[in-house]
Amino acid sequence: MISDTKGSKPAFFIQSNYIKKFFNKYKLHYFFGLIALLAVDYVQTLVPLIVGNVIDQIELNNFDADFVANAVFKLLGIAFTIYAGRILWRYFIFGSARSIERDIRNDLFQHLEKMSAKYYQDHSPGEIMAHMTNDLEAVRMALGPGILTLFDVMALGTITVYNMIVKIDPLLTAAAIIPLLMIAVSVRFMGREMHKRFSGRQEAFAQLSDFVQENLSGIKVIKSFVQENKSIEAFEKVNKNTFNKNMRLIKLQALMHPYMSMIAGLALAVAIGYGGYITIYGKITLGEFTAFIQYLGMLVWPMMAVGMTINMFTMGSASLERIENILNEPVEIKDSEEAVPINSFDGSIEVKDLNFKYPDSDKYVLSDINFKVEKGQTLGIIGRTGSGKTTLVNLLLRIFDPNDSTIFLGGYNILDIPLNVLRKNIGYVPQDNFLFSDTISNNIDFGLRKEEQEKIIEAAKAASVHDNIVEFKHGYETFIGERGVSLSGGQKQRISIARALIKEPEILILDDSVSAVDTDTEEKILTHLKENRKNKTNVIIAHRISTIQDSDLIIVLDEGKIVETGNHHELLQNKKGLYSSIYEKQLLEKMLEQE
């Protein structure tokens, strides 16, 4: 998913204030790295001169021991400087690029953690992963190899060409360099095509791995529907696509290397032809001639690097722009400026004239909602799928923000409660409960970290899941998820409940959290809540009347409106009401089951 680089100028990279901040942070590293690089480049360009000088001295028969020792000594010094310098610039420049990569990745993750549910509706995990990997890599390439080649090209190119012109011959230099310029131009343009094909290959590979992953996780479904052959056929197609994309890249690479060698050869031919000619006529010495040939060889790299550097900065700029766009995405749900400095609040809930529609939608999913629950009471919510139950919970947790002054918790306007205080005091078991690939005990004390084992066990007992857990071979240390045991729906629900209970929250919200639990176990959990959560509030959303019939207040939602409220007995008085009809239906079902 590397998007194309149109529209982004390489200069964007250097001008970005965000990047400048990092250059500033690592300026000493870059400084030392570049000093080492320049030292290497400088001493490298001395070699042809020394070698040329040796040849000239041989020709003049001035070749004595002192002279040889001097030349050897110099060459050894140069070799050592190059050796040490290369280690240093690698460490300092590539090290800085890696450090900045890490810093940006941290920035991205921190920012992503602040983004709202809405953001994740608009951006898929795959898309975000592409930014965190591909884009970040392109930025790192500009920061490391990009900066390196930029300075290398400038230093090595300048010193080499300067020596060729001033110390050898300007005309010869011009004649030999012109073909080399073609390398720079073609790398720049072929580089673009190369990048396109490279991205194509990456994308094909991503598709391939997605395909394998999905088909292997869904292997049971595939087998039970006897779809193996179809799956194999589809795989062959995806695999062929990957092959084709690889071949496209290989073909271009196959073209590129010989092409560049050919141009380098052409430049060499010109240099030898014309250079040999002016050597014979004594315009330059034999030593100068050999030095020139060596310089020409040294120029091939900078010529290739000019194009590469421009490409790296173009790609880096485009990627940086996308990364900055994420970082500049405003945090939608945050503490209000009038946030009250509290650490906790009582569990009373008051909802006043609440109307709500999701962002980017015109339909009100909640309207005219009014109710009040005192601290220590239990609120039951029942209603058909899509009636707005989960939406109400989303608002209580500020996963989405309600309108101002519509929801009050413990007497505080919910928008004025600091987010972390709000969420610390609410225990939430989402409808689509989620467990991490980790041990059971880590999944339960997730909310509190480093709880003592006893508290974990206590919470698991309260959620009626302790007996199941101890039956696993590794008990609480059993690993769950893709690489561990897989749990039943009911077990997952109860572990999620334990996770919420261990927080001992002021408000506990169970969103359809016992739907996969049998009624006896459900009763145990509810009894526990009643006995152990005195003075704390419970909000229980359910499909089954049995789950909520003991609630102090029950609200019946239908199409976003409260159609009935009261306790179980009051609601049953209204024989024509929705509650009564659900009750009758479930009673009938139960009788049928028992027969």
Ligand X SMILES: Nc1ncnc2c1ncn2[C@@H]1O[C@H](COP(=O)(O)OP(=O)(O)O)[C@@H](O)[C@H]1O
Binding site for ligand X (CB under 6 A): 121, 358, 361, 365, 383, 385-391
Least distance to ligand X from the beta carbon of 553, Å? 18
Q: Determine contact, residues 196/312, Cβ cutoff 8 Å.
A: no
Query: For residues 91 and 358, which CB has a smaller minimum distance to ligand X in the complex?
Result: 358
**Interface characters, 426-445, with Mg ion (x: CB under 5 A):** -----x--------------
Instruction: Mention every residue, 6+ apart, whose C-beta is less than 8 A from residue 577.
Output: 556, 563, 564, 571
DSSP 409: E
Contact region with Mg ion (CB under 5 A), list: 206-214, 218-226, 268-276, 386-394: 386-394
Query: For residues 274 and 400, which CB has a smaller minimum distance to ligand X in the complex?
Result: 400
**Interface characters, 134-173, with Mg ion (x: CB under 5 A):** ----------------------------------------
**Among Mg ion, ligand X, none, residue 505 binds (CB under 5-8 Å by kind):** none
Q: Would you call 240 helix, strand, or coil by DSSP? A: helix
Query: For residues 38 and 510, which CB has a smaller minimum distance to Mg ion in the complex?
Result: 510
Residue whose CB is nearest to Mg ion in the complex, by number: 390
Helix and strand numbers (H, E) in the chain are 24, 10
Least distance to ligand X from the beta carbon of 121, Å? 6
Beta strands in 272-363, from DSSP E residues, in sequence order? 349-357
**Among ligand X, Mg ion, none, residue 274 binds (CB under 5-8 Å by kind):** none
Least distance to Mg ion from the beta carbon of 492, Å? 16
Instruction: Mention every residue, 6+ apart, whose C-beta is less than 8 A from residue 69.
Output: none
Contact region with Mg ion (CB under 5 A), list: 297-305, 390-398, 457-465, 526-534: 390-398
- Candidates 510, 546, 507, 530; CA nearest to 373 is 507
Least distance to Mg ion from the beta carbon of 386, Å? 8
Query: For residues 34 and 365, which CB has a smaller minimum distance to ligand X in the complex?
Result: 365
Query: For residues 274 and 358, which CB has a smaller minimum distance to ligand X in the complex?
Result: 358
Please give the Cα distance from 283 to 198 (Å, whole number).
Answer: 49
**Among ligand X, Mg ion, none, residue 48 binds (CB under 5-8 Å by kind):** none
**Interface characters, 337-376, with Mg ion (x: CB under 5 A):** ----------------------------------------
Query: For residues 390 and 521, which CB has a smaller minimum distance to Mg ion in the complex?
Result: 390
**Among ligand X, Mg ion, none, residue 491 binds (CB under 5-8 Å by kind):** none
Query: For residues 133 and 367, which CB has a smaller minimum distance to ligand X in the complex?
Result: 367
DSSP 336: -
Least distance to ligand X from the beta carbon of 150, Å? 47
Query: In this chain, which of 160, 242, 319, 390 binds Mg ion, going by CB under 5 A?
Result: 390
Query: For residues 141 and 510, which CB has a smaller minimum distance to Mg ion in the complex?
Result: 510
Q: Determine contact, residues 529/378, Cβ cutoff 8 Å.
A: yes
Position 464 contacts Mg ion (CB under 5 A)? no
Enclosing H/E stretch for 426: strand 426-429
Extract the tokens encoding 365.
């999913």
Instruction: Mention every residue, 6+ apart, whose C-beta is less than 8 A from residue 584.
Output: none
Beta-strand relationship, 364-373 and 349-357:
antiparallel
**Among Mg ion, ligand X, none, residue 364 binds (CB under 5-8 Å by kind):** none
Please give the Cα distance from 300 to 259 (Å, whole number).
Answer: 13
Tell the residue number behind the tokens 């002021």, with chain if given.
506
CA 579-584-586 angle, to 5 degrees, is 95
Please give the Cα distance from 197 to 194 (Å, whole number).
Answer: 5
Least distance to ligand X from the beta carbon of 566, Å? 19
Query: For residues 362 and 518, which CB has a smaller minimum distance to ligand X in the complex?
Result: 362
Least distance to ligand X from the beta carbon of 536, Å? 23
Q: Determine contact, residues 553/560, Cβ cutoff 8 Å.
A: no
Q: Would you call 91 helix, strand, or coil by DSSP? A: helix
Edge-to-edge strand order for the sheet containing 349-357? Answer: 364-373, 349-357, 407-409, 412-413
Please give the Cα distance from 384 to 386 (Å, whole number).
Answer: 6
Please give the Cα distance from 100 to 97 (Å, whole number).
Answer: 5
Query: For residues 53 and 116, which CB has a smaller minimum distance to ligand X in the complex?
Result: 116
Least distance to Mg ion from the beta carbon of 390, Å? 3
**Among Mg ion, ligand X, none, residue 383 binds (CB under 5-8 Å by kind):** ligand X
Least distance to Mg ion from the beta carbon of 128, Å? 25
Please, how many CA atoms are within 13 Å of residue 475, restricted to the half-sphere of its CB? 7
Least distance to Mg ion from the beta carbon of 393, Å? 8
Query: For residues 96 and 390, which CB has a smaller minimum distance to ligand X in the complex?
Result: 390
The total number of residues shown for the chain amounts to: 595
Contact residues for Mg ion, defined by CB under 5 A: 389-390, 431
